[in-house]
């Protein structure tokens, strides 16, 4: 998926990738992210992704770089 | 990604070039003003510039490239029969693209565009008649697919005039109608090869990718669609959009809030991936590596959109939590 954007540690990068992949596919995590209280979100990240609150703060910049990626071209196979 | 990857076969490459040459010959025979229009890229691709149309290689591969994407199924044809069907199918598809632009009022000269549409449709049909006698069952498929095309376009017009018509069945009908002219080429090749049974899986695969395509377009363009007053199925699935009123800018903000609250773009990108999976499954018993590579490329692109979409929502959710715990 994403290429490594900054020099965060490999471990944090792996967790970031895991977070995104789980949020794509896991209804449980996704629902908590969408509608959970902050404490529930923090608990879900810790239990389901293995991310501590401190690690969340450390991966946020890389996450933002992925979110802001403008290189993905919307393209229709029939357009 | 997005360009046709021709089979690594000199004959396939030569035949592709020949269809392009035939298109240029067709344009040369048209009245001058229509010939000029036929040679402009914007006639088919909607780009605002005066760039020349480079031929079918300029188009999205699925539009006129299906004989090559399913090369393993059709390579046994002799050159003339292959070319007659590939040319006829390409012109027929180009006619449908132009018709789409005319209906959407995206052409500079609608009267001339209507005439060019007529010329493309007539010559495309003539090529197919030369390849497939009237007695073959292809013409029943041709009628069926033409009717599907018409029904899809009419459903789109109805849904634009009355939003309540935009239901899932309507959306599917519109998408299937859009791909029907492309299926005509495959129906002709399947019939001419004496293996009509290979048409249903190819048709199903194309129809599934058509639904995926329309959905991805709608997700990517939702803001422009609101600004242009264009109603899409994706928009009608957002309660905040359905319930919003006012100027386009207000509707855009309400819709954005609705998408963010429920991650609806993520949900519908996952639906898009489901349709792409179905597209692959439909041709699981058919040898068609070129087509499968195309669908896979599209799946990867959709997955990349999903990655970016999920990351955006995560940032939006996590940024205030991190800021709150730091303060």
Each residue's pLDDT tens digit, B115-168: 999 999 999 999 999 999 999 999 999 999 999 999 999 999 999 888 888 999
Chain A residues close to B298, C-beta within 8 Å: 77
Which domain range does residue B297 map to? 198-327
Of A23, A10, A69, residue with least CA distance to B318: A23
Q: Is residue B172 part of a domain?
A: no
Res. A70 pLDDT band, cuts 50 70 90: low
- Tell which of B322, B323, B324, B327 to mutate to test the A interface (max A CBs under 10 Å): B322
Contact B60 A53 (CB under 8 A): no
Query: pLDDT value at position B7?
Result: 82
Q: How far is A69 from chain B (nearest CA, A)?
A: 7
B213 in contact with A, Cβ within 8 Å? yes
Residue B52 pairs in a beta bridge with B40
Contact B303 A1 (CB under 8 A): yes
Q: Cα-flanking dihedrals φ and ψ of residue B40, to 5°?
A: -100, 135
Query: pLDDT value at position B182?
Result: 97
Query: How many pairs of residues across A and B have Cβ atoms under 8 Å apart?
Result: 101
Q: Is residue B202 part of a domain?
A: yes
Q: Is the pLDDT of residue B50 over 90?
A: no
For the ranges B35-39, B71-75, B228-232, B266-270, the lowest mean pLDDT is seen at B228-232
Residue B40 pairs in a beta bridge with B52
Q: Is residue B208 part of a domain?
A: yes
Contact partners, residue B214, CB within 8 Å, separation at least 6: A76, A78, B171, B174, B175, B178, B233
Q: Is residue B210 part of a domain?
A: yes
Contact criterion met (CB below 8 Å) for B34 and A50 = no
Q: Cα-flanking dihedrals φ and ψ of residue B52, to 5°?
A: -75, 150
Query: pLDDT value at position A69?
Result: 76
Q: Tell if the pTM clears 0.95, that is, is over it.
A: no
Of B49, B68, B56, B48, residue with least CA distance to B24: B56
Reading phi first (left if > 0) and then psi (alpha if -120 to 50, else beta), residue A72 is in beta
Res. B1 pLDDT band, cuts 50 70 90: very low
Q: Based on the structure, what is the number of domains in chain B?
A: 1
Once rounded to an integer, what is the mean pLDDT over residues B4-19? 90
Contact residues of A toward B, CB < 8 A: 1-2, 19-20, 23-24, 30, 33-34, 38, 41-42, 53, 56-57, 60, 63-64, 66-67, 69, 72-79
B257 in contact with A, Cβ within 8 Å? no
Query: pLDDT value at position B8?
Result: 85
pLDDT one-digit tens code per residue, B164-179: 889 999 999 999 999 9
Q: Is residue B56 part of a domain?
A: no
B249 in contact with A, Cβ within 8 Å? no
Q: Is residue B153 part of a domain?
A: no
Q: Indicate whether this complex's ipTM tops 0.90.
A: no
B44 in contact with A, Cβ within 8 Å? no
Contact partners, residue A54, CB within 8 Å, separation at least 6: none
Once rounded to an integer, what is the mean pLDDT over residues B33-53? 89
Distance (Å, whole) CA B40 – CA B34: 10
Res. A73 pLDDT band, cuts 50 70 90: low
Average pLDDT, chain B: 93
Distance (Å, whole) CA B174 – CA A67: 32
């Amino acid at each position: 998926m994403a290429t490594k954007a900054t020099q965060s540690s490999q471990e944090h990068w792996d967790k970031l990738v895991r977070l995104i992949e789980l949020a794509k596919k896991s209804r449980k995590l996704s629902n908590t992210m969408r509608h959970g209280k902050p404490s529930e979100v923090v608990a879900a990240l810790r239990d389901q992704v293995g991310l501590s609150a401190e690690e969340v703060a450390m991966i946020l910049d890389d996450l933002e770089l992925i979110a802001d990626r403008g290189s993905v071209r919307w393209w229709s196979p029939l357009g | 990604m997005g360009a046709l990857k021709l089979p690594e076969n000199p004959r396939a490459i030569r035949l592709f070039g020949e269809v392009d040459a035939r298109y240029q010959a067709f344009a040369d025979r048209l009245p001058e003003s229509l010939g000029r229009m036929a040679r402009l890229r914007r006639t088919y691709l909607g780009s605002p510039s005066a760039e020349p149309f480079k031929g079918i290689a300029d188009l999205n591969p699925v539009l006129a490239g299906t004989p090559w994407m399913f090369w393993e199924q059709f390579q046994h044809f002799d050159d003339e029969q292959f070319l007659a069907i590939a040319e006829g199918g390409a012109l027929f598809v180009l006619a449908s693209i132009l018709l789409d632009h005319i209906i959407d009022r995206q052409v500079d000269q609608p009267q001339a565009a209507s005439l060019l549409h007529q010329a493309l449709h007539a010559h495309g049909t003539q090529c197919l008649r030369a390849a497939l006698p009237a007695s073959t069952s292809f013409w029943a498929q041709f009628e069926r697919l033409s009717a599907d095309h018409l029904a899809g376009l009419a459903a789109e017009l109805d849904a634009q005039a009355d939003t309540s018509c935009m239901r899932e069945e309507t959306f599917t009908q519109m998408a299937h109608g859009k791909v029907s002219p492309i299926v005509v080429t495959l129906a002709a090749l399947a019939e001419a090869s004496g293996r009509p049974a290979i048409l249903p899986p190819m048709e199903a695969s194309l129809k599934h990718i058509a639904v995926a395509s329309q959905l991805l377009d709608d997700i990517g363009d939702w803001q422009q669609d609101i600004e242009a007053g264009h109603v899409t199925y994706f928009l009608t699935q957002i309660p905040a959009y359905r319930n919003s009123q006012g100027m386009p800018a207000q509707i855009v903000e309400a819709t954005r809030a609705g998408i963010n609250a429920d991650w609806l773009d993520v949900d519908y990108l996952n639906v898009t991936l489901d349709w792409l999976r179905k597209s692959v499954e439909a041709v699981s018993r058919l040898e068609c590596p070129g087509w499968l590579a195309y669908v896979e490329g599209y799946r990867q692109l959709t997955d990349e959109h999903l990655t970016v979409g999920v990351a955006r929502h995560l940032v939006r959710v996590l940024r205030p939590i991190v800021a709150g715990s730091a303060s």
